[in-house]
Structure 1
């Protein structure tokens, strides 16, 4: 299905942030060879659009009186008639081919795939899944679909979804392809005039703000299909009510024994609609051990055959020039030894280049393709890396590389080459986005904040007090209709994003089996055992046994008891500035006296020593049971130790027989760019490792990990000397297993390192604005330090006004901490920097009055 949402994937943020060098030449869309003719469903005047909007408003009540199953059945009846090849379908294909220049046979194949994908069972499944994902909702009052490109078939998905939801649809046809909507809605009118009246296809020349501002004011949801300029324009009008289907890229990956049928399928994917649309392969990757020339010759011959069946459209001057330049460049590369061959060329209407370069380069589309070699899966992964945020589909042969490599690429879809342009209707989650209109029957009441303050115990006089209705990915939605970019991830909990569907599914599966059976340590529970094994597989040999708890503070308490009992000593040390939790033992370890003094007397024989001070390590002696340390002190202002400090700490503990405890509640599971924070300092492996926060994938779960020999001391003298009722709850462990799968499959720790470095560098460029004096961090744990607490407070308020969630650190009121979900996309990262920069600009000059 080349044309179902064919211009690209759902982009929740600014869509012009695309892999620039690669996609600049891949975004050319077919232009019409003539203006749309005057047809009765196209309104070319402002009055026509105004009339359409008025008619759609009147149609809403009648549309919603028709049951959903009947609306879907009537829509499906039209699909069936078209798939049977009725006159309307034949006329549509002919008009589309004439307007766009695409081969009539190719348009027919493409459109059939779209129609098949949206048959009734598929549409019902999409709507059911969207309802499940969006929770309580109501249908939008009006959806506008803006088709700003000429790819055939784009009108079908928004019509299907609007009818399924019972929502009137205003559809702006593309300048060069207004015909599909005209023919389809006329067929729908013959089946159900009432349903057809709720969909209006109109046309006006893009950029007419008098029309577009009116539409943006009335539409609850705006779907935009097109390039960066069109998407940016509509985002400026509709803000977060816009979902953009923007430019993307797809690739084909061949194995070592590609057969004739796979080459034939590859030729079809390249030739259909002349490679336009994000599902068509724009590069071919092949193992370097395989001779690419025979395969390239086969592909060239297959493209010659396709040229006879689906002749390439006549290219406009600009696109013809781009194709010629690409062919000329390929010929120069062959002469210069950078490429092995060029097959086809100007006269043949296609080009197949076999290059020796691994890096994927831009291509002009219009049946121009390159073979790129890769040595091994590691190099393949690095080749796909630059495409990560824009990779739509990977088509593979039957002997392609192991799937885990491809799953970590960020591609939205992995399939056989033959299925690349035949995706299912739920290819993109547009339906669930359309259904996020809040149902007032289930909305939070205006008195919720006062009830929250009255009946929920408070932790401060100024809670954030957001009335949260839902959270997805990196975004938190509130009852006032606002959408907040979460750069704190629930203080680091939502590493894989909020409400990940795989975590939800794992929780549901486990809950159907059992939720709780017995107190911790008595029964062998499958999810708990598997999680302990997964952690052991990731950890060094001295960290192979796990004690599960409900939280990080409980894990710290367990570790405190452990180091004292295992060593027979009582003295415990931690560091100034440390934060280890808020239970009594954890507070005693805390490095800020403000939070210790009101709760004295605390545990005896607990002391703090200076942070990152080598001389202070001499205070660790033979009376010390254990030393508790955070690899990065988050609440102290994101303080990263000097290079050798933790190694020297490790050595000192070894010398005196003290146990070294790493508190990685914050830093584990990819937060710092490594799976565990201590991996940055391989010579500083701890004796005990404390985990929590993101471990549970959003559910409460903690753990302390050590060797079986050390942990054995808690099992006797006395037996049951350390127990917990809910620790290691099987539902939470199931969630944790799903979270680990996602971390590994998507290479989120590695992504954290790359994205964190990029984010850090861009934020460092803002130093000097609004009192910002330093930006520091490791991975995606970043601290912004300000000259004064006033500057810091003004910045936090400026971010709040710009719908960015963050907060200052507990022990340092001049530092703001960023710990966004590790799935933060490039677009979301850019949006974060834009909003943070705007907040800094607003901060300037305000601090003095703070």
Structure 2
């Protein structure tokens, strides 16, 4: 089957507008295989993956240890009977209690990030008996109705209103706005420690600690969405650890499955879990916690620890950030700011039109990249935590070349 036939099926059976957008961005290739930091299309063109599946491929593609573990498990019991005890689920829950901060203990395993957020919201309502949540503008928590109610981008919310009641939004990073709004009537404050889809937005220093203090002061739960920042992306297992903060519930997904299996989870403190202990079937899932996904997650954690990927993410991220800032210094008319933490990096551009040009140039030059969902002026980089330095240098050189071209065309964009 030719590439054009595949694209034609997208147009006829999936979404013609999506196919048109992919063509416009130069993504008119069909992916065929992937390994490490590389993706290959059906014509065997090589792409360096700097997008990393929006944070999924923290270990790179097809890490052999994760693939081997999943291959061995699939022939034994890939999905749970849901009746007998599940060893892999028990082992993963124990491991999550070990790697998450503080006294987080109980886990509920799901299949995706938006499911994790849904579970987090339900557990918070059950624990507090309250239905109000304080959320952040420019946030992204998913697109199911509950997670969308918490999401702070009207573009995604407006077509589906009315959404759930009780969700209010305040500016991210503005502690005064939180102080003025928060009281004991809320079930929880929900936020990302770094806004990913919002444009790789880091909060001011001490912001997370202050939220923790205010939540404790008012008896409100702190709910942290680490779906994109978790599992080492920022140089620690979880971004809240940079401020030594322990949330009441943490949500994770994306990188948890090692780029091999979809899996999400929430992990919560014991006091928050009492409602589910009293009524354990109030929130359940058919596929969540299956042996195959849990095996992938356990292998992923083992790889992160064995290969020292947290330290690598910190070191590689600092090196990458310095290289990008050197490009910004040379071409300030194109790049207005470079920011990030670990291997979660963003380039803020002077104009939205620059982003389209850069994406097209870089994709044509074999770099997979994209802009953030809430802010088209920000190009994100979320490559594998273990990307070799020599490959980072190649990527920086290609970005510099594309930015130089954009700089020449800036007035016409």
TM-score by length of 2: 0.94
2:99 and 2:106 map into 1 onto residues whose CA distance is: 12
1:445/1:642 Cα in 2 relative to 1: closer, same or farther (>3 Å)?
closer
Q: Is the 8 A contact 2:100 2:237 kept in 1?
A: no
1:536/1:586 Cα in 2 relative to 1: closer, same or farther (>3 Å)?
same
> Structure 1 residue 655: deviation in Å?
0.6
2:135 and 2:156 map into 1 onto residues whose CA distance is: 15
Counterpart of 1:351 in structure 2 is none
2:181 is the counterpart of 1:623: no
2:275 is the counterpart of 1:713: yes
Q: Is the 8 A contact 2:215 2:221 kept in 1?
A: yes
2:5 pairs with 444, 447, 450, which one? 447
1:747 and 1:524 map into 2 onto residues whose CA distance is: 32
Residues 661-740 of structure 1 correspond to what in structure 2 (within 5 A)? 661-682=223-244, 684-698=245-259, 699-717=261-279, 719-740=280-301
1:557 and 1:459 map into 2 onto residues whose CA distance is: 29
2:389 pairs with 815, 826, 843, which one? 826
1:771/1:540 Cα in 2 relative to 1: closer, same or farther (>3 Å)?
closer
Counterpart of 1:552 in structure 2 is 113
2:326 pairs with 765, 777, 784, which one? 765
Counterpart of 2:54 in structure 1 is 491
2:162 is the counterpart of 1:601: yes
> Structure 1 residue 715: deviation in Å?
4.2
Counterpart of 1:836 in structure 2 is 399
Counterpart of 1:510 in structure 2 is 73
1:631 and 1:577 map into 2 onto residues whose CA distance is: 13
Counterpart of 1:638 in structure 2 is 200
> Structure 1 residue 716: deviation in Å?
3.7
Number of aligned residue pairs: 404
Counterpart of 2:350 in structure 1 is 787
Residues 737-816 of structure 1 correspond to what in structure 2 (within 5 A)? 737-767=298-328, 768-769=330-331, 771-816=334-379
1:642 and 1:601 map into 2 onto residues whose CA distance is: 33
**Structure possessing the higher relative contact order (Cα contacts under 8 Å, 6 or more residues apart):** 2
Counterpart of 1:119 in structure 2 is none
Residues 115-514 of structure 1 correspond to what in structure 2 (within 5 A)? 446-457=4-15, 460=18, 461-463=20-22, 464=27, 466-514=29-77
Q: Is the 8 A contact 1:798 1:840 kept in 2?
A: no
2:218 is the counterpart of 1:659: no
Q: Is the 8 A contact 2:200 2:339 kept in 1?
A: yes
- Residues 715-750 of structure 1, C-alpha deviations (whole Å, 9 max, x = no match): 445x51111100111101111111111111111011
Q: Is the 8 A contact 1:485 1:804 kept in 2?
A: yes
1:459/1:691 Cα in 2 relative to 1: closer, same or farther (>3 Å)?
farther
Q: Is the 8 A contact 2:256 2:264 kept in 1?
A: yes
> Structure 1 residue 582: deviation in Å?
0.8
- Residues 468-497 of structure 1, C-alpha deviations (whole Å, 9 max, x = no match): 110000000001221000001111101101
> Structure 1 residue 714: deviation in Å?
2.3
2:91 pairs with 490, 510, 530, which one? 530
1:612 pairs with 173, 183, 190, which one? 173
1:538 and 1:651 map into 2 onto residues whose CA distance is: 23
1:458/1:510 Cα in 2 relative to 1: closer, same or farther (>3 Å)?
farther
Q: Secondary structure at the match of 1:556?
A: helix
1:587 and 1:554 map into 2 onto residues whose CA distance is: 11
> Structure 1 residue 541: deviation in Å?
4.2
Q: Is the 8 A contact 2:80 2:290 kept in 1?
A: no
1:549 and 1:466 map into 2 onto residues whose CA distance is: 32
Counterpart of 2:146 in structure 1 is 585
1:500 and 1:465 map into 2 onto residues whose CA distance is: 26
Q: Secondary structure at the match of 2:187?
A: strand
Q: Is the 8 A contact 2:93 2:106 kept in 1?
A: yes
Counterpart of 2:211 in structure 1 is 649
Q: Secondary structure at the match of 1:740?
A: helix
Counterpart of 1:247 in structure 2 is none
Q: Is the 8 A contact 1:486 1:805 kept in 2?
A: yes
> Structure 1 residue 445: deviation in Å?
5.1
> Structure 1 residue 444: deviation in Å?
5.1
Q: Secondary structure at the match of 1:447?
A: helix
1:459/1:497 Cα in 2 relative to 1: closer, same or farther (>3 Å)?
farther
- Residues 21-62 of structure 1, C-alpha deviations (whole Å, 9 max, x = no match): xxxxxxxxxxxxxxxxxxxxxxxxxxxxxxxxxxxxxxxxxx
Q: Is the 8 A contact 1:790 1:848 kept in 2?
A: no
1:726 and 1:480 map into 2 onto residues whose CA distance is: 35
> Structure 1 residue 696: deviation in Å?
0.8
> Structure 1 residue 457: deviation in Å?
4.6
Q: Is the 8 A contact 2:3 2:30 kept in 1?
A: no
Q: Is the 8 A contact 1:553 1:583 kept in 2?
A: yes
TM-score by length of 1: 0.47
2:100 and 2:156 map into 1 onto residues whose CA distance is: 33
> Structure 1 residue 599: deviation in Å?
0.5
1:459 and 1:599 map into 2 onto residues whose CA distance is: 20
1:603 and 1:566 map into 2 onto residues whose CA distance is: 18
1:572/1:744 Cα in 2 relative to 1: closer, same or farther (>3 Å)?
same
Q: Is the 8 A contact 1:715 1:721 kept in 2?
A: no
Q: Secondary structure at the match of 2:289?
A: coil
> Structure 1 residue 459: deviation in Å?
7.6
> Structure 1 residue 546: deviation in Å?
0.6
- Residues 434-461 of structure 1, C-alpha deviations (whole Å, 9 max, x = no match): xxxxxxxxx7554111112322357845
Counterpart of 1:565 in structure 2 is 126
Q: Is the 8 A contact 2:11 2:17 kept in 1?
A: no
- Residues 604-642 of structure 1, C-alpha deviations (whole Å, 9 max, x = no match): 010111111111112111101011111100111101111
2:314 and 2:387 map into 1 onto residues whose CA distance is: 12
